[in-house]
A and B are shown apart, each in its own frame.
Chain A
Amino acid sequence: MKRHKLLLPALLLGLVIFAGAAASTSQGTTDGTTGAAATGEVTLSGWASSPTETKLLKAVIRGFEKTFPGVKVNYAPISGDYPAAMLANFAARKPADVFYVDSNVAPDWIKQRLLEPLDGFVAQSKLKTAAFYPSLLNGFRGPDKKIYGFPKDWSPLAMETNNRLLTAAGVKAPTTWAELSAAARKLRGKVPGGRPICLSPSWDRMLAFVYQNGGSFLNSTKTKSTVNTPAVKQAAEFYVGLIKSGLAGTPTQLGVGWCGEALGKEKAAIVFEGNWVVPFMADTFPSVAFTSNKMVRGKQEGNLAFTVSYSMARDSKNKPAAWQLIRYLVGQPGMKTWTSKGLALPSRSDVKPAAGRAAFIAAAPSARPWQFAPAFTKVMDVANNELTAVLEGKQTIAGMLKKIEQTANDAL
């Protein structure tokens, strides 16, 4: 009798201990600093956004290799046509293990089954995904709601203003559409050789204004295009109106390549660009003083999130090690390192951005990822071409929206 009584608890205890031991060897911790014994070689690819970022990334990789001595990372960025090179390698079933995926191409790459769903790894590692801004993470969820990548960083649009020109005209940084027009009117004639505002003639800027007016490009289930609606029309009229009235100019009208250059050459006092313009200005136009202000609002706040993920290839030959790398890269220490210079904004709310980025981070709740549906590049090309036609006076806004709606619905 006594033997049986002790045997059962002992067995149970043994089981518990055994289970605990087994569990701890196959799990990692949530911050990725200690982990299981994944080994082998992993290829990391992507493009180079700036020389400094490459240096920082290499530092992070070295940190990873120190923490996980069994894994060797082969960093192989592609300078040039990233999608073409990646697709060729995907087709040959010899892709990199971990690589960048722009939110814009994510729908296509998910649909083509190029990316590995990460939910299994997430559960296994007990990774808490709540730290990532939901709108960004959702940008990399497939239609099956699975996670196909973790956002590595992001940037929304902000309103950059030239300090000197605004002070000289006695103008304060606007916060609403009405204030924007008023400020521009006050600045008219006070920007030598340029115009008060620089607006890019493309939907990757105008869409933010559309969102601010309560409009959208697609409906929430991405089954229909909602671009031909009054809310969108109003926003487009506002945007185009600014340009046509001379209060704003396109980069080509101002003789520059993009609005960041307009800001630097002081051909515009107000531009709308993302965080990338800050290091650009520091490197190329260090003498021009400007301020990053929060994006204006229309009926509501609205913004675009340009974000890139680290994803794993479905054909990766070393998935455990690849997962280890991804987790480390988007873990707190990893992300902290390469966003420390302010070149990009962290996609986790528990990592503080570099100084002076408050205007950008404030947009997090209202920013929607810059992406649509699979095979949508053609639709966006049509959208942008129609917009330039409108600006040249060869097309009406109503006509443009109708055309875009038609092309979009065909593609869906």
Chain B
Amino acid sequence: MAIGVAPLPGADRSIPARTPAERARRVLTYAILLAIAALFFVPFLWTISTSLKTLPETTGFDLLPDSPSLRAYREVLTEFDFLRYAANSFFLAGVITLANLVLCSVGGYAFARLRFPGREVLFMLVLATLMIPDQLRLVPVFLLLSGWGLVGGFTGYMLIKLVLASNLFFMRQYFLTIPKDFEEAAKLDNAGHFKTFWKVMLPLTGPALAAITILTFQGIWNEFFWPLILLGFGDPSKYTVQLGIAQFSFQYQTLWPQLMAASVIAILPIVVIFVVFQRYFVAGVVASGVKG
């Protein structure tokens, strides 16, 4: 088994191990991997099991509830407007992810492959924005958005998240790794900059775009601070999923079953997005480009 080596085109992955030693090693490797995976999964099993318990039961550590019931889920979906929260989060995450995909791939390409005066300085500026803690930005950003009347609605939040510096940075790095041969070929064909970008470079960034989709969607879905500040004041119909979940934490008490049930409901769309988009992490995308 070759670690760190992408499978060769045409290689048959299901060739069984030849020698007993190889087979033993393979079994051992899988065992270790499964153990690690289990470790990663256990907290989530615990989350699900807690959502099926009653509040007094949650104080113990047993993974299996005594008498599992979906009461918490029922409560979450009926007494609280959770489907609306999920819809809100979905809308916000979707729009912001799309905006990031477009703006960051375009911007990342520019920083990686186009030459313009002040490029490096501007790039350091982009990096610099990553170094400013949210808590420091709170008051000025809020005052700005409040002055424009953008607090309490989705527009303000979407505006500040339209482009995430980490996505831009990543796309730039990714474009840097693509061999210059592609561009040279496009230049010989007399393609303009946009055409080069659109027809040649962008299609090569499948895995990067997939990564950004997953991470941005999930980042916005899980975010609490800015939605609280910008949406959390007043109109519960604008709440996101995380704000909804926070409603189960009270000052002296947390309704664990409902909170976990809400968390499980909240995680499902993310899991779906992840499963769908992780297919794009496919080897050979670049290879086929070179050969063709």
Contact = CB atoms under 8 A, between A and B. Distances in A.
A binds B: yes
Interface of A: 43, 45, 47-51, 74, 76, 78-81, 84-85, 87-89, 91-92, 94, 96, 260-261, 264-265, 276-277, 279-280, 283-287
A80 B253 contact: no
A49 B228 contact: no
Contacts of A96: 233
Given A48-B247, A88-B138, A91-B142, A264 B59 contact: yes
B56 A286 contact: yes
Nearest to B60: A265
B67 interface: no
Given A264-B59, A276-B252, A284-B56, A87 B139 contact: yes
A287 B225 CA distance: 38
B224 A80 contact: yes
B106 interface: no
Nearest to B247: A79
Interface in B227-251: 228-229, 232-235, 243, 246-247, 249-251
A80 B234 contact: no
A284 B55 CA distance: 6
Q: Which of B142, B229, B252 has most A Cβ within 10 Å?
A: B252
Given A91-B139, A92-B142, 4 more contacts: A79-B249, A80-B246, A283-B55, A285-B59
Interface residues of B, number: 29
18 contacts: A43-B234, A45-B233, A50-B252, A74-B234, A79-B246, A79-B249, A80-B228, A84-B229, A85-B228, A88-B142, A92-B143, A280-B252, A280-B253, A284-B56, A284-B59, A284-B253, A285-B56, A287-B56
Contacts of A276: 251-252
Query: Which 5 residue pairs across A and B have the least CB separation, nearest first?
Result: A92-B146, A79-B246, A276-B252, A76-B234, A49-B251
Interface in B193-225: 224-225
Nearest to A94: B146
Contacts of B98: none
Contact of A79 (B151, B234, B243): B243
B110 interface: no
B229 A85 contact: yes
A88 B253 contact: no
Contact of B228 (A81, A87, A261, A283): A81
B255 interface: yes
A80 B232 contact: yes
Contacts of A45: 233
A80 B243 contact: yes
B232 A50 contact: no
B262 to A, nearest CB: 12
Contact of A78 (B225, B228, B250): B228
B246 to A, nearest CB: 4
Nearest to A276: B252
B152 to A, nearest CB: 9
A89 B234 CA distance: 12
B250 A48 contact: yes
B250 A84 contact: no
A278 B233 CA distance: 30
A96 B234 CA distance: 9
A389 to B, nearest CB: 26
A44 to B, nearest CB: 11
Contacts of A261: 59
A382 B38 CA distance: 41
A92 B145 CA distance: 9
Contact of A49 (B142, B234, B247, B250): B250
A50 B55 contact: no
Contacts of B255: 51
Given A283-B55, A285-B59, A92 B151 contact: yes
Given A79-B246, A94-B146, A285-B59, A49 B252 contact: yes
Contacts of A88: 138-139, 142, 229
A91 B143 contact: yes
Contacts of A85: 228-229, 232-233
A94 B142 CA distance: 11
Contacts of A43: 234
A100 B106 CA distance: 47
Interface string B145-167: 01100010000000000000000
Contacts of A89: 142, 233
Contacts of B232: 78-80, 85
A48 to B, nearest CB: 5
Interface in B102-130: none
Contacts of B224: 80
